[in-house]
């Protein structure tokens, strides 16, 4: 599977000290997710490339969480993102949700509700 984005594109939107090989691992995962879930949805190649770039940055930032707030006195740090929030956990993931106009990636991992209705005729049988 060929990546649509590159390490330099990802590094242009997220500051990291990771090597290109390490960043490539996140790109490879983003490529798999985008190809599997969005390639047949009618989005342009350019949009798929952009989504892949932001998704790779999201995955990378989940590994190396970003400081969202800090205090100098008595040293306090608050990190961006929370587990269990999916793409909402990072600003990069929120960008992915905005770019994916199909809503497909936002719905990944969410439980789907189902309802089974029985009629009285079913219970009498």
pLDDT of 40 over the 50 cut:
yes
The string of DSSP letters for 38-96 reads HTTTT--HHHHHHHHHHHHHHHHHHHSPPEEEEETTTTEEEES--TT-GGGGSHHHHHH
Which residues fall within 8 angstroms of residue 34, CB to CB, at 6 or more apart? 4, 48, 51, 52, 55
Model confidence, pTM: 0.76
User: Distance between CA atoms of 60 and 53, rounded to whole angstroms?
Assistant: 11
| pLDDT at res. 77 | 53
Average pLDDT of every residue of the chain: 85
Helix/strand/coil for 6: coil
pLDDT tens string 69-82:
555 666 655 544 44
Q: Are 106 and 58 in contact (CB under 8 A)?
A: no
């Amino acid at each position: 599977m060929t990546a649509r984005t590159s390490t330099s594109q990802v590094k242009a939107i997220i500051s990291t000290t990771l090597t290109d090989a390490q960043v490539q691992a996140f790109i490879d995962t983003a490529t798999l997710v985008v190809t599997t879930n969005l390639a047949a949805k009618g989005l342009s190649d350019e949009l798929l490339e952009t989504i892949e770039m932001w998704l790779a940055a999201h995955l990378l930032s989940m590994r190396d969480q970003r400081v969202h707030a800090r205090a100098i006195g008595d040293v306090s740090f608050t990190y961006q993102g929370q587990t269990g929030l999916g793409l909402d956990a990072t600003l990069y993931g929120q960008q992915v949700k905005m770019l994916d106009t199909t809503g497909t990636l936002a719905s990944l991992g969410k439980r789907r509700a189902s309802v089974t209705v029985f009629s009285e005729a079913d219970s009498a049988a």
